[in-house]
Structure 1
Amino acid sequence: MSNIRDVALRAGVSPSSVTRVLGGYPNVSPELRERVLRAVDEVNYQPDLLAAGLRRGYTKTVGMLVNDVLNPFNAQMMDIFESELRRAGYNVILTNSNGLSEVDLENLLVLKQRRVDGLVASFADDRNPLLATALRSWTVPVVLFDRQVDDIDVSAVLSDHRYGAQQLSEHLVDKGHRRLAMISGSEALYSTRERILGMQDVAQEHGLTIRPDFLISGRGSEEHGSEGVARLLDDPEPPTAIVLANGNTAAVVGALAELRRRKVRIGEDIAVATYYDDPVVALWSPSLTSVWRHVPDMARRAADMMLHRLEDGRRMAHTVVLPTRLMVRESTSKQFTDG
Structure 2
Amino acid sequence: MATIRDVARRAGVAPASVTRVLSEYPNVSDDLRERVLAAVEEVGYQPDLVAAGLRRGYTKTVGVMINDILNPIVAKWVDIIEEDLRAAGYGVILAHSRGEHANDVANLKLLHQRRVDGLIASFASDQNEELAAILAKVDVPVVLLDRQMNLDSVSSVVSDHDYATRALVTHLIGNGHRRIALFTGQPNGYPSRERVRALQETFAEYGLPVRRDLLISGRGTEAYAAEAIATMLEHPEPPTAVIVGNGNLSALAGALHELRRRGIRIGENMAVAVGEESALASLHSPALTAIERDTVAVGRRAAAMMLNKLATGSSRSHTVVLPTRLVIRESTDWVLS
Q: TM-score, normalised by structure 1?
A: 0.97
Kindly indicate whether the alpha-carbon contact (under 8 Å) linking 2:153 and 2:315 is maintained by their aligned counterparts in 1.
Answer: no
| Partners of 2:131 and 2:4 in 1: CA distance | 41
Specify every segment of 5 or more residues in structure 1 that has no aligned partner in the other structure, as ranges.
none
1:50 Cα deviation after fit: 1.0
| Partners of 1:12 and 1:311 in 2: CA distance | 39
Kindly indicate whether the alpha-carbon contact (under 8 Å) linking 1:184 and 1:246 is maintained by their aligned counterparts in 2.
Answer: yes
Greater shift in the superposed pair: 24-33 or 165-174 = 24-33
1:202 Cα deviation after fit: 1.3
Equivalence map 1:128-167=2 (5 Å):
128-167=128-167
Specify every segment of 5 or more residues in structure 2 that has no aligned partner in the other structure, as ranges.
none
Kindly indicate whether the alpha-carbon contact (under 8 Å) linking 2:100 and 2:124 is maintained by their aligned counterparts in 1.
Answer: yes
SS in structure 2 of the partner of residue 37 of structure 1: helix
1:152 Cα deviation after fit: 4.1
Kindly indicate whether the alpha-carbon contact (under 8 Å) linking 1:176 and 1:336 is maintained by their aligned counterparts in 2.
Answer: yes
Kindly indicate whether the alpha-carbon contact (under 8 Å) linking 2:141 and 2:315 is maintained by their aligned counterparts in 1.
Answer: no
Which amino acid is the alignment partner of residue 85 of structure 1? L
Residue equivalent to 2:188? 188
Which amino acid is the alignment partner of residue 47 of structure 1? P
Which amino acid is the alignment partner of residue 254 of structure 1? G
1:103 Cα deviation after fit: 0.9
Which amino acid is the alignment partner of residue 294 of structure 1? D
| Partners of 1:303 and 1:198 in 2: CA distance | 29
Greater shift in the superposed pair: 25-34 or 56-65 = 25-34
Kindly indicate whether the alpha-carbon contact (under 8 Å) linking 1:308 and 1:315 is maintained by their aligned counterparts in 2.
Answer: no
1:177 Cα deviation after fit: 1.4
Which amino acid is the alignment partner of residue 101 of structure 1? H
Kindly indicate whether the alpha-carbon contact (under 8 Å) linking 2:162 and 2:195 is maintained by their aligned counterparts in 1.
Answer: yes
| Partners of 2:211 and 2:16 in 1: CA distance | 73
Residue equivalent to 1:8? 8
Residue equivalent to 1:272? 272
The structure-2 alpha-carbon separation of the partners of 1:6 and 1:151, relative to structure 1 and needing over 3 Å to count, comes to closer
1:254 Cα deviation after fit: 0.3
Identity of aligned residues (%): 55
Residue equivalent to 2:300? 300
Kindly indicate whether the alpha-carbon contact (under 8 Å) linking 1:135 and 1:152 is maintained by their aligned counterparts in 2.
Answer: no
- RMSD of equivalent CA atoms: 1.2
Residue equivalent to 2:204? 204
Residue equivalent to 1:43? 43
| Partners of 2:59 and 2:202 in 1: CA distance | 49
Residue equivalent to 1:114? 114
Kindly indicate whether the alpha-carbon contact (under 8 Å) linking 2:185 and 2:192 is maintained by their aligned counterparts in 1.
Answer: yes
Residue equivalent to 2:242? 242
Render the CA deviation track for 1:62-92: whole Å, top value 9, x for unaligned.
Answer: 1111111111111111111111111111111
Render the CA deviation track for 1:23-51: whole Å, top value 9, x for unaligned.
Answer: 12233222222111111112221111111
Greater shift in the superposed pair: 18-27 or 33-42 = 18-27
SS in structure 2 of the partner of residue 330 of structure 1: coil
| Partners of 1:6 and 1:235 in 2: CA distance | 73
SS in structure 1 of the partner of residue 331 of structure 2: helix
Residue equivalent to 1:65? 65
Pairing 1:92–2:92 present: yes
Kindly indicate whether the alpha-carbon contact (under 8 Å) linking 1:65 and 1:122 is maintained by their aligned counterparts in 2.
Answer: yes
Kindly indicate whether the alpha-carbon contact (under 8 Å) linking 2:141 and 2:310 is maintained by their aligned counterparts in 1.
Answer: yes
| Partners of 1:182 and 1:45 in 2: CA distance | 55
Equivalence map 1:212-231=2 (5 Å):
212-231=212-231
Greater shift in the superposed pair: 22-31 or 321-330 = 22-31
Which amino acid is the alignment partner of residue 35 of structure 1? R
1:325 Cα deviation after fit: 0.6
| Partners of 2:218 and 2:39 in 1: CA distance | 57
Kindly indicate whether the alpha-carbon contact (under 8 Å) linking 2:152 and 2:316 is maintained by their aligned counterparts in 1.
Answer: no
| Partners of 1:260 and 1:115 in 2: CA distance | 50
Pairing 1:309–2:309 present: yes
Which amino acid is the alignment partner of residue 124 of structure 1? A
Kindly indicate whether the alpha-carbon contact (under 8 Å) linking 1:271 and 1:332 is maintained by their aligned counterparts in 2.
Answer: yes
1:247 Cα deviation after fit: 1.2
Residue equivalent to 1:287? 287
